[in-house]
Chain A
Amino acid sequence: MTPQQQTYSLFVGVGLILVVASIVGYVLKHSVAKDQPHATIDNLNTRIKAWWVMVLVISLAFLFGKTGVILLFLFISFAALREFMTLTYTRSADYLALTAAFFVVLPAQYALVWFGWYGLYAIFIPVYVFLILPILEVAGGDTKRFLERTAKMQWGLMISVFCISHVPALLTLNIPGYDDRNLLLIAFLVIVVQSSDVLQYVWGKLFGKHKLAPEVSPSKTVEGLAGGVLCATALGASLWWITPFNFWQAALMSLAITGMGFFGGLVLSAIKRDRGVKDWGNLIEGHGGMLDRLDSVVFAAPIFFHLTRYWFAT
């Protein structure tokens, strides 16, 4: 198959899964909920609808290739950073640092990814921004809760911009024998992470008994985690043909992705609990905010990027 045919068959596959999911949702609404309001089933159907929109948006981005994907993730980072900063304590002296974060750091990071300047985009936020932001904050002249304010802003940029930008950064990897197919690497990452989330949710709803971290995320169960991670890993392994990996390598990569994704969900849940909110925002109906949907991608993307880069790229 040519890369294009592989991409098409992948999207057709995802489309078919969504068709099946929509039918299941419809049948559940009709037979179990008897067409009456039902919290879990209604939420499931809202989520499935949102999935259609998300898959459509990603397909559109893929149609426009590198430009489309970089613009899509630039927007995603913007939405994520906006959610993060909204929930973060800032003072009026932070104005300069905040505007710099949104209007300089965010576009600059994606421009560096666009140019494929690995040597700079890999350290831009962790080194340069890490040092320059507190300088901008100091210029504001307000020392109240200073360390907390600078630390949180750096955290927000790491999570929302640095980590997320490692998804489109996969396009800049030069993998021998895998020319012009890097878009599929993004598809692989997104499919494995998101299917792991969905499968953990399904396994948890069906068989979940033992709570995993009741203090942090009451909906996560041991059964959900085990079933979800195993199934998503199997799914990832079975997608080895779209990747530069062989079957077992694809399985190990999937395990790493799903593992990091799981912990990403836990960590971002802990932050939400600390801030006393249930969701990061309301951007995606049924799912919450952008960060609610992307918590696992945030943690998986940089690790997947570097594992692939170290072992497979030149």
Chain B
Amino acid sequence: MTLDALYARALCAFTKALTGARILWQGCAPAAGPRVYYANHNSHGDFALLWACLPDDLRERTRPVAGADYWRKGRLRTYVAERVIRAVLIDRDPKTRTEDPIAQMAAVVEQGDSLIVFPEGTRNTTDETLLPFKSGIYHLANACRDLEFVPVWIENARRVMPKGRLLPVPLLCTLTVGAPLKLAPDEPKDAFVERTRNALLALMPPAA
């Protein structure tokens, strides 16, 4: 095992030990990719949680999609993003962009790897349960026809790691995986974006 892989294992072990995270494969069984896992985004812990909860063999071939503006700041962040979690770093600003994010993601999928994306585009720090989705999820589906989109609801991550805080609060997190969706032929952009968003919302546990 390489040192990078060892760090990755350590990161996953720490995340799981802290949050007692468990994943419920409600709508489908774990299966080899390529797949796109899309989830609600409340905290930096989200991708670590989802990534850690995947079975080892699937995780090795699953790459989180993250904002380059955040992850290229500083050497440690760059190292973690590029070598440890092997993130697909995209430039979120269309003005400074040199590479097309959809093409970057599609290239990964064509190699047979899976992706983790957060279609809200940014961390949700509002009182809304789920922000409106950006249209990127549609463009990716349109570029890679037949690609499976798997909704994953992450419960409690915001309480574990509120925005701007460094020390995580140890609370139990549960991830619920729904049934995979595919872009239907001739499905309009708005309909697909809405359908994927509703599928994710449907996984939210009832408020106690």
Structural contact, B162 and A92, CB atoms closer than 8 A: yes
Structural contact, B167 and A82, CB atoms closer than 8 A: no
Q: Does B208 contact A (CB under 8 A)?
A: yes
Q: Does B72 contact A (CB under 8 A)?
A: no
CA of A79 to CA of B170, assembled, Å: 9
Inter-chain contacts of B167 with A (CB < 8 A): 99, 103
Structural contact, A82 and B20, CB atoms closer than 8 A: yes
CA of A193 to CA of B159, assembled, Å: 34
On chain A, the number of residues with a Cβ less than 8 Å from chain B's Cβ atoms is: 20
Q: Does A265 contact B (CB under 8 A)?
A: no
Structural contact, A86 and B22, CB atoms closer than 8 A: no
Inter-chain contacts of B156 with A (CB < 8 A): 86
Inter-chain contacts of B144 with A (CB < 8 A): none
Stretch among A121-129, A199-207, A276-284 lining the B interface: A276-284
Beta-carbon contacts under 8 Å, B150-182 to A: 156, 159, 162, 165, 167, 169-172
Structural contact, B170 and A82, CB atoms closer than 8 A: yes
Residue ID in chain B nearest A87 by CB atoms: B208
Partner of A102, one of B162, B165, B169, B172: B169
Give B contacts to A, CB under 8 Å: 20, 22, 156, 159, 162, 165, 167, 169-172, 208
Beta-carbon contacts under 8 Å, A50-98 to B: 78-79, 82-83, 85-87, 90, 92, 95, 98
CA of A281 to CA of B20, assembled, Å: 9
Residue ID in chain A nearest B172 by CB atoms: A86
A-B residue pairs in contact (CB < 8 Å), sample of 5: A79-B20, A82-B20, A99-B169, A275-B208, A283-B20
CA of A217 to CA of B156, assembled, Å: 28
Inter-chain contacts of B165 with A (CB < 8 A): 95
Give A contacts to B, CB under 8 Å: 78-79, 82-83, 85-87, 90, 92, 95, 98-99, 102-103, 275-277, 281-283
Number of interchain pairs (Cβ within 8 Å): 32
CA of A64 to CA of B110, assembled, Å: 54
A82-B20, A86-B156, A283-B20 given; A98·B172 CB < 8 A? no
CA of A211 to CA of B118, assembled, Å: 49
Nearest Cβ distance between residue A96 and chain B, in whole angstroms?
10
Inter-chain contacts of A83 with B (CB < 8 A): 172
Nearest Cβ distance between residue B196 and chain A, in whole angstroms?
28
Interface centre among B156, B159, B162, B169 (most CB of A within 10 A): B169
Partner of A95, one of B162, B170, B172, B208: B162
Interface centre among A86, A102, A282 (most CB of B within 10 A): A86
- Which 3 pairs of residues, A with B, have the shortest CB-CB distance? A86-B172, A276-B208, A86-B171
Partner of B159, one of A78, A90, A102, A282: A90
A78-B170, A86-B172, A99-B169 given; A277·B20 CB < 8 A? no
Inter-chain contacts of A78 with B (CB < 8 A): 170
CA of A83 to CA of B174, assembled, Å: 12
Inter-chain contacts of B171 with A (CB < 8 A): 82, 85-86
Nearest Cβ distance between residue B129 and chain A, in whole angstroms?
15
CA of A102 to CA of B169, assembled, Å: 8
Residue ID in chain B nearest A78 by CB atoms: B170
A86-B171, A282-B20 known, 9 other contacts, Cβ within 8 Å: A79-B20, A82-B170, A87-B208, A98-B169, A99-B167, A275-B208, A276-B208, A277-B208, A281-B20
